[in-house]
Amino acid sequence: MKVALRKEGCLIGKLTVTAPAKVNLVLSVLGRRPDGYHELWTLMETISLADQVALSSAAGDAVRLTVTGRPVPTGAENLIVRTANLLRKRAAVTRAVDVHLDKVIPIGAGLGGGSSDAAATLVGLSRLWHLELAEDELMVLGAEVGSDVPFFVAMQLRGGSGAAVCTGRGEQVEFVKAAGVHWYVLVVPREGVSTTAAYRALELPIDLTAVPEDAKKTKEAFERGDVEGLRKCSRNDLQRVALSLSAGCRKVFGRMVSAGLPQAMVSGSGSALFCLCGSRAEAEGYANRLAQYQESEGFEVLVATGGPGGTARPGAREAGAGG
């Protein structure tokens, strides 16, 4: 699709966009495509763990990024800077922008933080510069930055939170309505897992069209609000790889199992694992069991919400409280 970008209009001065993390309740890797990407079928939901991306019009002609919270690079390799420069070039915007990232989402954890920051930047700058870009234009641009970016763009345009089945390499987004708010326990090792390394280590199936039956059942359970059904059907084809690549991931998996959690599921390519819970009390109970080991064993425990309004539910040691 050709993107017919419009030039900047009447500028506003400043805005802040919440950039939520996500979990993959299903991640099926169907094979490698002729273009080198992987064919996916994934069910993702945004959660209340979120970064804040503040965008300000500035003098000059550069994109300048500052960061608080978790340390990340601030140069051209950062997806925020890459996204802003891409949009400036395509829309012929000559203004500078100052971006401040309050980084809360762990890095290299399979929670989509970089992609969500990129989507927040893309949607935010489109508004800041009054570019009046259509959804399909924003999603096409997002796909140039990363495979998960279109999902987060679509969520931004629908109030900031939600769930979808994403196919292709992730750029085809089909919205899925949650039956209610979900509660998650997140456990994040100190070290991350390289997404590139995880995909390289994966033994791929050869059929690019055969979606596993339990993936479809997971979508149905999600729409019914069937937590037990979701636990039983959820799958991640990268879980075995993530556990093999990361000692921290293996340690967390073992600790979650020994603590009696009913699920220990890797999100994305890892290293974060999660357990979907049926209530806040259940999630906090499991989190408390794990919290006593987090300092000695080198992981972080958070409670997060997903579902309608899930990005607006921070609390004490709930996701969104910082780290």
Q: Write the pLDDT tens digit of every residue in 83-109.
A: 999 999 999 988 899 999 999 999 999
Q: Which of 22, 103, 217, 219 is catalytic?
A: 22
Topology (CATH) of 182-312: Alpha-Beta Plaits (3.30.70)
Known catalytic residue at 237: no
Return d(Cα 114, Cα 277) in angstroms, integer. Answer: 26
pLDDT 10s digits, 48-80 = 999 999 999 998 889 999 999 999 999 999 999
Q: Is 148 a catalytic residue?
A: yes
The verdict on domain 14-176 having CATH code 3.40.605.10 is no
Q: In which band, very low, low, confident or very high, does the pLDDT at 37 lie, cut at 50, 70 and 90? A: confident
Q: What is the pLDDT, as a whole number, of residue 188?
A: 97
Q: What are phi and psi of 187, to 5 degrees?
A: -125, 120
Give pTM, 2 decimals.
0.91
pLDDT digits (tens, 9 = 90+) for 259-298: 999 999 999 999 999 999 999 999 999 999 999 999 999 9
Which residue shows structure tokens 């996204």? 83
Q: Which of 148, 217, 219, 237 is catalytic?
A: 148
- Give the alpha-carbon dihedral of 69, 75, 78, 81, to 10 degrees: 110
| Cβ 6 vs Cβ 131: under 8 Å | yes
Query: Within a 10 A sphere around the Cβ of 136, how many other Cβ atoms?
Result: 11
3-state secondary structure of 217: helix
Q: Where are the domains of the chain?
A: 14-176, 182-312
Kindly tell me the sign of the dihedral angle through the C-alpha atoms of 167, 170, 174, 180: positive
- pLDDT category at 203 given cuts 50, 70, 90 is confident
